[in-house]
Amino acid sequence: MLLLIPGPVTTDARVKAAMAQDYAPWDNDFRETYRQVCDSVLRVAQGVAGEHTALALPGCGHFAVEAAIRTFVPPGGRLLAPSTGAYAARLQKLAGDAGRVAVPLFVGATERVDPQAVAAALEQDPTLTHLALVYSETGSGICHDVPELARIAHALGRRVIVDAVSAFGALPLDLSTLPAVDAVVLTANKCLEGLPGAAFVVARVDSLEANRGNAGSWSLDLSDIYQHTLVPNAGPRFTPPAPTLAALAVALDLFWQEGRQARLARYTANMRTLYDGVSELGLTPYLPPALQGPIVVNVHAPDAPTWNLQLFVDALKRRGYVLSNFYNTEPPTFRVGCIGAFGAEQMQLAVDAMGGALRDIGITRERTGAPRFFPQPLIA
Ligand SMILES: *Cc1c(COP(=O)(O)O)cnc(C)c1O
């Protein structure tokens, strides 16, 4: 069974095998694994030792996004949050429910965040102390230019929080060059190709020190989690998802063997195979090639009377591939992940299975046979 949902992703057998034992989270061997995993995540982010730290939290990505907002934006504080899609909307809701004010910035459903619009919004409203961005917006498939937007925020004296959950480990990120970024949020189970249950925030140490006491939640207080890492031979603060972290240690070894750029190239090849493949099936991707990111492709539901997303998902699952059974975009689109431990040959088989699943639910299309032209890689 190949997971194309995307996230959690299909993992390597060696990653799964690491979970097949019990771990004692405060045992010295596990402390070492824990420390190595955090160090490795910090290196993926190109964080600077002493300036940045990678903090682990049990749970999903949303918990860590909330922790970052609570820790770095004071209660009642205001953050500019470009409305890039479903995941930006979630960030806005997390902030609002935590008593912070997320000020939306309109972004067209199939547009990149406009750096000039961000600069203008920040210039107009000096109470906006933070900019919150989704790097790869899973709701559309568009990747936004986080490095450029973070430089703009820096020039205007603002702090930045990045939801990089679906991007981390594939898209470029060099925290050593982005001093405005207080927090980058990620999980084990997307481009790092680990299993679900562990989230991380790579954060600036000076900001963690400066923002003690903001969070209003002991569980989600990154400054407190950071203070805990300073005790000698520090282990996890509360019970961590130890098997998931042990599996992530293996996944990170595989990540370093492959390299970020090769991983991005593999995902990009998966994306193109999928994009061309569904186009040849007569389906229409949600985004034009120039905006299509390498992480997730949304595809317009076929305009056919027998179309039913759940029936399609069920038919495809019988053929060995799992898709999400909900819509994330305003027009109905099904989404397909390009990330996980597989390559373009398997993606081609998945496309063939999609053609079969469409036939299974009574939809036949003429092949257009016209692969789309892709311009230069968007991000390298
Ligand atoms: C997957 C994802 C998250 C986190 O999802 P969880 O289900 O909470 O792990 C957050 N942001 C983006 C952009 C994502 O793709």
Query: What DSSP string runs through 344-365?
Result: HHHHHHHHHHHHHHHHHTT---
Ligand 1 atom closest to the Cα of residue 164 is: 13
| Among 219, 235, 211, CA closest to 66 | 219
Residues of the chain where predicted confidence (pLDDT) is lower than 50: 367-371, 373, 375-378, 380
CATH class of 260-360: alpha beta
Taking the alpha carbons of 371, 375, 379, 380 in that order, is the dihedral positive or negative?
Answer: positive
Distance separating alpha carbons of residues 221 and 314, to the nearest angstrom: 41
SS3 content of the chain, % helix, strand, coil (to 5): 40, 20, 45
Cα–Cα distance for residue pair 181/174, rounded to 1 Å: 10
Spacing, Cα 171 to ligand 1 middle (Å): 16
326 alpha carbon – ligand 1 mean position (Å): 15
Domain residue ranges of the chain, discontinuous segments joined by +: 13-257, 260-360
What pLDDT, on a 0 to 100 scale, did the predictor assign at position 376?
A: 47
- pLDDT value of position 233: 87
pLDDT tens digit sequence for 69-119: 999 999 999 999 999 999 999 999 999 999 999 999 999 999 999 999 999
CA–centroid distance, 61 to ligand 1, in Å, is: 5
Beta bridge partners of 203: 53, 183
Can you name the CATH fold of 13-257? Aspartate Aminotransferase; domain 2 (3.40.640)
**Cα distance between residue 168 and residue 175, in whole Å:** 12
C-alpha of residue 166 to centroid of ligand 1, in Å: 7
Pocket test for ligand 1, best of 184, 186, 187, 298 (most atoms within 8 A of CB): 187
Closest atom of ligand 1 to CA, residue 196:
9
Of 254, 249, 136, 193, the closest CA to residue 9 belongs to 193
* Atom number in ligand 1 closest to CA 187: 9
pLDDT at 46: 98
CA distance 350 to 354: 6
Cβ neighbours of 289 (radius 10 Å): 16
Residue count (the chain)? 380
Under a CB-based contact definition with an 8 Å cutoff, are residues 76 and 229 in contact? no
- Ligand 1 centroid–CA 194 distance in Å is 14
pTM for this model (two decimals): 0.95
Q: Please state the three-class secondary structure of 122-162 as a single string.
A: HHHCCCEEEEEEECEECCCCEECCHHHHHHHHHHCCCEEEE
Mutate to test the pocket of ligand 1, among 66, 83, 84, 163 (most ligand atoms within 8 A of CB): 163
Pocket of ligand 1 (CB under 6 A): 7, 60-62, 87, 134, 138, 163, 165-166, 187
| 8 A C-beta contact, residue 144 and residue 135 | yes
Q: What angle do CA 59, 107, 276 make, to 5 degrees?
A: 80
Residue whose tokens read 């088989």? 349
Of 60, 94, 79, 99, nearest in space to 214 by CA: 99
Q: What is the pLDDT of residue 276?
A: 97
The CA-based angle 321-87-205, given to 5 degrees, is 115
d(CA 69, CA 94): 8
- Angle between helices 86-97 and 61-72 in degrees, nearest 10: 50
181-187 vs 198-204, strand pairing mode? antiparallel
Please give the pLDDT value at position 328: 87
